[in-house]
């Protein structure tokens, strides 16, 4: 088993602790962390500065969109910036 430590380890541990599904609602989304492979479910509240704001049964959470994939009716479509001309 690999030991995870430091700030990233604490972040992952906190997110895992909050990953217990909440009571289902129309605004529920599931955010799956791309590198870690675990999912956090919660009620979608907002999307600000490329960050999902959700509320889980453990409280509010801000998750950078670049770190996750999103499933649910309230997910925001993220498009890569188009730098090509024409």
Per-residue pLDDT of 2-58, as tens digits, reads 555 566 656 665 655 555 444 445 689 999 999 999 999 999 999 999 999 999 988
Which residues make Cβ contacts (< 8 Å) with residue 62, sequence separation at least 6? 51, 52, 53
The pair phi, psi for residue 26, each rounded to 5°, is -65, -25
Residue 81 pLDDT more than 80?
no
pLDDT, position 58: 84
Instruction: Let me know if 47 is exposed, middle or buried by CB neighbors in 10 A (0-12, 13-18, 19+).
Output: middle
pLDDT, position 76: 81
Indicate the class that CATH gives domain 6-71: mainly beta
pLDDT, position 77: 76
Spell out the domain ranges in the chain: 6-71
pLDDT, position 71: 95
For the entire predicted model, the pTM comes to 0.62
Residue 57 DSSP code: T
């Amino acid at each position: 088993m690999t030991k995870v430590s430091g700030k990233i380890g604490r972040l992952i541990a906190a997110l895992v602790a909050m990953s217990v599904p909440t009571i289902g609602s129309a605004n529920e989304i599931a955010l799956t962390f791309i590198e870690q492979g675990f999912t956090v479910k919660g009620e979608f509240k907002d999307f600000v500065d490329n960050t999902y704001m959700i509320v889980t049964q453990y409280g509010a959470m801000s998750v950078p969109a670049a770190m996750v994939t999103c499933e649910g009716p309230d997910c925001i479509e993220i498009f890569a910036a188009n730098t090509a001309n024409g």
